[in-house]
Structure 1
Amino acid sequence: MDKISTHLWFDGEAEQAADFYTGLFPDSHIASITYAPTDYPSGKAGDVLQIAFTLGGRSFLALNGGPSFPFTEAISLSIDCRDQEEVDRYWEALSAHPENEQCGWVKDRFGLSWQIIPRALPELLADPDRAKAKRAMDAMMTMKKINIAVLQAAAKAETTS
C-alpha cells in the first residue's frame, strides 16, 4: 500500500469495479478484500466492505459505502496514452455515456470520470509557439474522443490574414 492512496466510494459495486479496472490496466491486481464484520448502513455482515487494489502500480481502495456520495466530475482519473490505439482501447472500455463526453473525458458504468489523454495533447498545448498551441486547443475543444492526427493537423495549420 502506498503512503497515500485514492479511496473510491461505491454503492455496492466495489468488487465489480475493482475486477473491471484491474482487468483493464496492466500492472494491476486485487490485493485484499475485507468483509463486513457486522451489519452497517449500506450492507450486511459478510458483504464486501472494502477492496484494496493496484492499478498501473498505484494503490486504490474501494468502499461499498452506499448511495450517499456519488462520484462527480470534480475528481477524475487521467490515463496517459502513448498513441491513438491506446486512446481508442481505453475509450471503448470506459465510455458508458458517449452523449455526455467532451475533450477526452468519459464516465464509466460506475459513474467514475476518466480523462483519456494522448501524450501528444499536453505536448501540443505547451508548445512555445502559442498560436500553434491555441489551434491544438481549439481543435480539442470540439472533440469527444481525442484524435491525435486531427490535433497535429490543426496545430500545423497556418492561418492567412
Structure 2
Amino acid sequence: MQNLVVNLWMQGNGEEAGEFYARSLPEATTEVESRYPSEGLLEFQQPLAGKPLTVSLWVRGTKITLINAGQEFKPNPSISIILVFSTGQRESLDATWSALMEGGTALMPLDAYPFSTRYGWVNDKYGVSWQLMETSEPVEPRASVIPSLMFGGAAQNRAAEAIEFYGQVLGAKLDSAYPYGEPTESATAEALMYAQFTLGEDCVAAMDSGVPQDFTFTPGVSLEWHCDGQAEIDRVWDAMSAVPEAEACGWLTDKFGVSWQIVPSNMGELMERPGAFENMLKMKKLVINDF
C-alpha cells in the first residue's frame, strides 16, 4: 500500500497539467480529486474559489498529487521522479521523453551512460523534473516510479544523514548506497552518488549533487506521509518539524529543507466534513478532532 505521495505545486494550472501528464506518461490517468470551497477562503485564495484544489495523477498505479495553487512556489530538480523502463520498453521510454521535452529542457540528454543503456533527465514545461532510465533487470511495479531527492545547496552532502534520520522517524531501510569514492566539485568522497531506500513499501532514491547547485528543496515538491491516528501524527511532527515559521495546514520543513505534509490516513474522509477546509486553514499540525 502506497504511504508516501509526491505532491507537485502547480501555479493555477493543475487540471491542465494533469491532462498533459495523462497523455505523456506511461499507463497514466488523471482526475480532479477535490475543489476549493466557494466560501471560507483566505484572501489570496479567493480567485481559486470552486476551482480544482488537488488533481490526482496515477502513473503505473502510483499516485502523484498536483496541488492547484498560486505563484508562491514552483518545482525544481531537487526532487525529481525516476521512471524505470525495461529494455523491451524502449519505444515507450522514447515516446515519454519526446512528450516531456515539449516545452521542456534536457538536464542530461537522452543517451547511453555507464549506469544505463538509455537515460535522460528532463525539466518539463511545468518545471517538474523526470529521470527516464532503461534497465536490463526485472522491474517491479513499486520500483518503476521512484521519487529522487538530490541534496545540493544548503543540503549538500547530507543524503546519508537524511536516510539515517528518516530511518529513525519513518522506518526507512537502506537498500543500496554508492559513495563517490573521491571528491567532486561539491561532493566529498564519502557523499552518496546514488542510494535507494524504502519507506514502508515505497522506493525512494537519494543522491548528493556532484556539482554546485544554486537551488535546494522547497515546497514546490513536497512529500505527503500518511499517519494512522493522532498519536502517530504527533510523534512524526515533533521529530521532523525544524522550521516553525514553515508550519501550516499539515505542512512542515525538516532539518534538510525537505517539505512534508503529515496527514491522517483518512484525510479524504475528514475533508468531507462541513467546514473542514476552513478549519484546516487554522491549523499548523493537523488535529483530527478539530476538523
> Match for 1:99 among 223, 235, 245?
245
**Cα distance, 1:78–1:47 mapped onto 2, change above 3 Å:** closer
1:77-122 CA-partner distances (Å, limit 9, x unpaired): 1111121101101101110012221000000000000001113432
**Cα distance, 1:60–1:119 mapped onto 2, change above 3 Å:** closer
**Cα distance, 1:120–1:43 mapped onto 2, change above 3 Å:** closer
> Match for 2:280 among 116, 128, 140?
140
Per the alignment, in what secondary structure is the counterpart of residue 261 of structure 2?
Answer: strand
Aligned alpha-carbon RMSD (Å): 1.8
Per the alignment, in what secondary structure is the counterpart of residue 166 of structure 2?
Answer: helix
Q: What's the CA shift for 1:41? A: 2.2
Q: Give the TM-score normalised by structure 2.
A: 0.46
**Cα distance, 1:64–1:75 mapped onto 2, change above 3 Å:** same
Higher helix share: 1
The reply to whether residue 3 of structure 1 matches residue 183 of structure 2 is no
**Cα distance, 1:137–1:31 mapped onto 2, change above 3 Å:** same
> Match for 2:166 among 21, 28, 33?
21
Which is further off, 99-108 or 32-41?
A: 32-41
The reply to whether residue 84 of structure 1 matches residue 224 of structure 2 is no
Per the alignment, residue 125 of structure 1 pairs with 271
Contact 2:170/2:236 (<8 A) preserved: no
Contact 1:18/1:51 (<8 A) preserved: no
**Cα distance, 1:136–1:38 mapped onto 2, change above 3 Å:** same
Q: Mapping of 1:67-82 within 5 angstroms? A: 67-82=213-228
Q: Which runs of 5+ in 1 are unaligned?
A: 152-161
Per the alignment, in what secondary structure is the counterpart of residue 217 of structure 2?
Answer: coil
Per the alignment, in what secondary structure is the counterpart of residue 145 of structure 2?
Answer: coil
AA aligned opposite 2:194 = Q
> Match for 2:205 among 46, 61, 67?
61
Q: What's the CA shift for 1:51? A: 1.8
Q: What's the CA shift for 1:44? A: 4.2
AA aligned opposite 1:14 = A
> Match for 2:178 among 16, 25, 34?
34
Q: Give the TM-score normalised by structure 1.
A: 0.81
Per the alignment, in what secondary structure is the counterpart of residue 6 of structure 1?
Answer: strand
User: Highest relative contact order (Cα 8 Å, sep 6+), 1 or 2?
Assistant: 1
Q: How far, CA to CA, are the matches of 2:169 and 2:188 in structure 1?
A: 29
Q: How far, CA to CA, are the matches of 1:12 and 1:150 in structure 2?
A: 40
Q: Mapping of 1:37-48 within 5 angstroms? A: 37-48=181-192
Which is further off, 78-87 or 44-53?
A: 44-53
Q: How many residues align?
A: 144
Contact 1:14/1:50 (<8 A) preserved: no
Contact 2:263/2:286 (<8 A) preserved: yes
Q: What's the CA shift for 1:39? A: 3.6
1:5-62 CA-partner distances (Å, limit 9, x unpaired): 1110111100000111122223x31111102144422124454322211112211111
AA aligned opposite 2:285 = K
